[in-house]
Homo-oligomer: A and B are copies of this chain.
Amino acid sequence: MNTEKHTSGISKYIPFLYVIWADDLLSASEIAVFKKAVERDSLTEAESSLLNSWLQPDHPPKDELIASWKQQIDGSGIKLVESDTYPLTSFSMKLSQTDDSEGETPDENLKFIEINLGIQPNHYRHLFDVQRQRSSVADFYDPGQIDLLLKGEHTSQIDVFREFLSDPIFSWEISTEKDRFRMKVLEQVKHLATKGYGAMAYDKAYGGIGNMPAYAGIFENLMFVSGSLTVKFGVQFGLFGGSIQNLGTKKHHDRWLRSAGEAKTLGCFAMTETRHGSNVRGIKTTATYIEETDSIIIDTPGENDNKEYIGNALHAEMATVFAQLIVNGINQGVHAVLVRIRDDKGKLMPGVRIEDNGDKLGLNGVDNGKIWFKNVSVPRENLLNRFGDIDENGKYTSAIDNPNKRFFTMLGTLVGGRICVAKGAVGGAKMALAIAVKYALQRRQFNSGEKVQEDLIMDYPSHQLRLIPSIAQSYVYHFTLEQMIRDYTASSEASRRKVETQAAALKALITDFANKAIQECREACGGKGYLTENRIADLKNDVDIFTTFEGDNTVLLQLAAKGVLTDFTSEFNSDSYGDLLKLAGQQLSDRLTTFNPLFTNNTDKEHLFDPDFQLEALRYRVRRLTFSAASRIRRYAKKGIPPQQLSLKIQTHLIQLGKAYGIALSYEIFSDFVNRIDHDKMQFLFRKLGSLYALYHIHSNAAWYLEHGYISGNKSKAIRQRVERLCTELRPHVVSLVDGYGIPEYCITAPISKP
């Protein structure tokens, strides 16, 4: 064994040499940084040459040599002090005895390496005998600063709102009995309404502040109280009130909107039927105009054509009912009509029958029910007539001639709901992640035998891999949705279609993410995560249905893909799929390059962490999937395969495309946001979160990238290693990251999250 004594010029570099060679992820640039330091240092030629001989990637130091470095380090008996400003530099100086006096300035060249390689204690902690003077988390980042970025322009509204949530009416308790739970949630909804929160998105004239983005922000925060409250709040103010606001005209606004926002008129949104969920256009309920009485008759034709799963059905006085509008014997397609379902005393109106949907997996504080109408008559004025009306002469009129376009225009006004659902899902995921992380920083299990204390489970790589990519995703999706809601609010008729496509993809992608993240949190907390008191159980069960309501994820991904395929221009969201055939006639092209081997094999850290590479990789997948889907459509169409069958053949392809589109879009929006952060240190953190997000998704689809020759096998492995490494690098900041969500202490009641 080589145990020769080195000069101090050599010795001081040994800890650094050991750290970089004991690791697997040495990159060319790391070598370059090291060599630069050696070059700058005033060493003898022999020293420089010896050091350089240990810096040859092609001829790495022999294992015996590395082990001898370790021996030298261990033999010194010196402890590494994590709380030092440059811990590895200080340690190395002590080892080489260049640091005789206390407080000497750190060696410039060692510092140069430590900073430029971004070596953090958690990279090498396991290699040394560490004197821990710090807790298991770093306070390098201020959670308050992070939270400010998240709240953005809604900071004041959200701060006031969070303060308001400390009201005891919002305090959490185990709720197993649905009727009691429903009453409690109803009271909470009314309480929120009294403070104007229900009407936030409505115009000032109706009690609001006309601020949809801020409304979406508080909506997310409601998830910290309960999923049931969030959903019932959304049904009353977003769906019911929103339908009046978006589908009605001034007469409806004047009569109902303020009252809806104040929760004085409780309402429901009766669209889905037992046999028609995703296929709204196929609903059977009829709204027939009767000229004689100038009224509209709402009717449920068959026993199974009832409205189904309608939130607020057990409490509401009014319902926005979607039905086939028949005027003069002609079906004008689906329209919405306001129908009174209960009188002032809460008694059902004649012809209205309502049944409780009963117990559910989650959201048991929401009263879902089935509704049947038997020839229920309402005045003609109750037709929400913004996009289609019946005039005084009993004639149907609409500014939108094409019935298909009219239908999707009506549905399009509800896109805000999809964005809110995704925001709620992110809120649920944040809550679960905060609890799981706080637990993982207390829970210890197993040790190395000689140690008294067991290891924190947060320090296990599998645990980091379980939670930290989800934290990164929560941040990316937070900012993506902030941008989406701004775009939605500002969108013109022309850009609305694009926003719809984006919202469809993101709602599916993000609700799916949230469910997976919460599931990981449950498992990461073991049996403790299974106890209702620790909140993850409710979050899991409540968020579960987010994948289904406001548009089933599978259906939405296909919708998004069709939007991408037709480049947002034509009426992609037709059910008939016929429009896809238009593509068959179009000229298709794609940059089908054979990739440069230097690119497909480039495993260097700088390259893998380069946002340009990451974004291009994510975009390439969208482009390639779009091209191949279009090619397949054209090929099948030429062979005479009918449209509906064609769409079945490419269904799984379209779903992949929809997801890929959502992922690339999110990263694009997030990267733009990160570029605008004017605080270097914070930008550095967010860029790392973005890198983890991008590489995590590239890694998840590595098979596809490999199949297409976009990356080589080695690059694929390198990406996986970088994902694991990024988790380790973010490990010290996990508490800052979950505290950065800004969830009030009084909302996180989980005992396992408490010290």
Contacts and interface: CB of A to CB of B under 8 A. Distances in A.
Interface in A624-673: 635-636, 638-645, 648-649, 651-652, 655
Interface stretch (A154-162, A286-294, A526-534, A679-687): A526-534
A552 B532 contact: no
A272 interface: yes
Contacts of A540: 361
Nearest to A176: B176
Interface string A173-211: 010111000000000000000000000000000000000
Contacts of A138: none
Contacts of A246: none
A277 B527 contact: yes
A272 B636 CA distance: 60
Contact of A448 (B22, B454, B541, B644): B644
A717 interface: yes
A754 interface: no
Interface in A570-619: 575-578
A635 B66 CA distance: 11
A703 B639 CA distance: 33
A685 B547 CA distance: 34
Nearest to A548: B526
B63 A639 contact: yes
Contacts of A390: none
Copies in the complex: 2
A374 interface: no
Interface stretch (A77-85, A219-227, A424-432, A457-465): A457-465
A542 to B, nearest CB: 11
B554 A527 contact: no
A382 interface: no
A717 B703 CA distance: 9
Interface string A717-750: 1000000100000000000000000000000000
A126 B642 contact: yes
A309 B531 CA distance: 10
Interface in A64-89: 64, 66-67, 70-71, 74
A446 B279 contact: yes
A545 interface: yes
Interface in A272-309: 272, 275-279, 282, 308-309
B361 A532 contact: yes
A460 B545 contact: no
Interface stretch (A113-121, A253-261, A705-713): A705-713
A527 B71 contact: no
B526 A552 contact: yes
A47 interface: no
Contact of A545 (B66, B530, B706): B530
A522 interface: yes
Interface in A341-390: 357-362
Nearest to A712: B707
A709 B713 contact: yes
A445 B575 CA distance: 11
Nearest to A451: B644
B639 A67 contact: yes
A549 interface: yes
A465 B652 contact: yes
A282 B444 CA distance: 11
Contacts of A527: 272, 277, 308-309, 545, 548-549
A502 interface: no
Contacts of A90: none
A660 to B, nearest CB: 15
A459 B648 contact: yes
A449 B644 CA distance: 9
A359 B533 contact: yes
Interface string A454-484: 1100011110010000000000000000000
Contact of A641 (B22, B362, B532, B554): B22
A410 interface: no
A739 B724 CA distance: 44
Given A460-B648, A652-B462, A707-B706, A643 B448 contact: yes
Given A22-B639, A127-B641, A176-B178, 6 more contacts: A277-B445, A277-B527, A282-B447, A358-B533, A652-B724, A706-B713
19 contacts: A21-B639, A22-B639, A63-B635, A66-B639, A67-B639, A74-B640, A176-B178, A177-B177, A308-B527, A361-B532, A448-B577, A449-B578, A449-B644, A461-B652, A462-B652, A526-B548, A527-B545, A706-B713, A709-B713
Interface of A: 21-22, 63-64, 66-67, 70-71, 74, 126-127, 174, 176-178, 272, 275-279, 282, 308-309, 357-362, 444-449, 451, 454-455, 459-462, 465, 515, 519, 522-523, 526-527, 529-533, 536-537, 540-541, 544-545, 547-549, 552-554, 575-578, 635-636, 638-645, 648-649, 651-652, 655, 699, 702-703, 706-709, 713-714, 716-717, 724
